[in-house]
């Protein structure tokens, strides 16, 4: 999809250069335009591939990570954590969970610390330097989800709802919404 967009951009740029050259007086030959198109396409696509490979290797080594806070403690939250841990090349690291229930200091869910209750996710985002928050509450906990959204409205973290995952989690090919 990204390669297709790059190729379309190269095609449009080459076409515009050819049309401009025609109206100015034909300073660019067709062979120069074709050479430009081929070189631009190869170099742009090659650059993207190399950068992605470098980023994946850095992320697998634990560098260049984005820190995640999972809001929820049920099956959906566990599924989100498992999906993140199954793909270290996503560059995501789970810092902890926020529960919809009351917070018990020192509590852990599947080895991850419970950092607080849903009433204070904005302060947790700042304290733990969270980049991304996944809301993974069960449907009966929609009040907790709304509360978390209200609390995070002025936060610097990106917020994504994981509720749609419960229907399609077995067939997901990719998880994060951004790279």
**92 touches 65 (CB < 8 A):** yes
Q: In the predicted model, what is the mean pLDDT of residues 120-141?
A: 82
What is the predicted pLDDT for the residue at 106?
Answer: 77
More confident residue, 54 or 118: 54
More confident residue, 144 or 159: 159
Residue 173 has pLDDT above 90, yes or no: no
Tokens of 127: 């304290």
The counts of H helices and E strands in the chain are 6, 6
What is the predicted pLDDT for the residue at 141?
Answer: 64
Residue 169 has pLDDT above 60, yes or no: no
Give CA–CA dist 124/106, Å, rounded: 15
Handedness of CA 117, 62, 85, 132 (dihedral sign): positive
Across the chain, mean pLDDT equals 82
Would you say the pTM of this structure is higher than 0.85?
no
**127 touches 159 (CB < 8 A):** no
DSSP 137: -
pLDDT digits (tens, 9 = 90+) for 11-61: 999 999 999 988 888 788 889 999 999 999 999 999 999 998 998 888 888
What is the predicted pLDDT for the residue at 165?
Answer: 44
Residue 7 has pLDDT above 90, yes or no: yes
Q: Provide Rg for the chain, Cα atoms.
A: 23
pLDDT digits (tens, 9 = 90+) for 80-90: 999 999 988 78
């Amino acid at each position: 999809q990204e390669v297709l967009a790059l190729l379309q951009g190269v095609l449009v740029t080459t076409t515009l250069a050819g049309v401009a050259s025609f109206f100015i007086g034909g300073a660019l030959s067709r062979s120069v335009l074709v050479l430009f198109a081929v070189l631009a396409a190869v170099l742009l696509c090659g650059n993207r591939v190399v950068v992605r490979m470098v980023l994946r290797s850095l992320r697998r080594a634990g560098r260049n990570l984005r820190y995640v806070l999972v809001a929820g403690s049920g099956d959906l939250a566990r599924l989100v954590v498992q999906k993140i841990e199954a793909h270290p090349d996503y560059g995501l690291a789970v810092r902890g969970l926020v529960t919809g229930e009351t917070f018990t200091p020192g509590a852990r869910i599947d080895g991850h610390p419970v950092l607080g209750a849903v009433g204070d996710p904005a302060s947790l985002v700042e304290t733990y330097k969270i980049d991304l928050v996944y809301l993974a509450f069960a449907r009966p906990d929609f009040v907790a989800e709304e509360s978390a959204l209200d609390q995070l409205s002025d936060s610097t973290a990106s917020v994504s709802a994981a509720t749609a995952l419960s229907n399609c989690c077995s067939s997901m090919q990719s998880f994060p919404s951004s790279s």
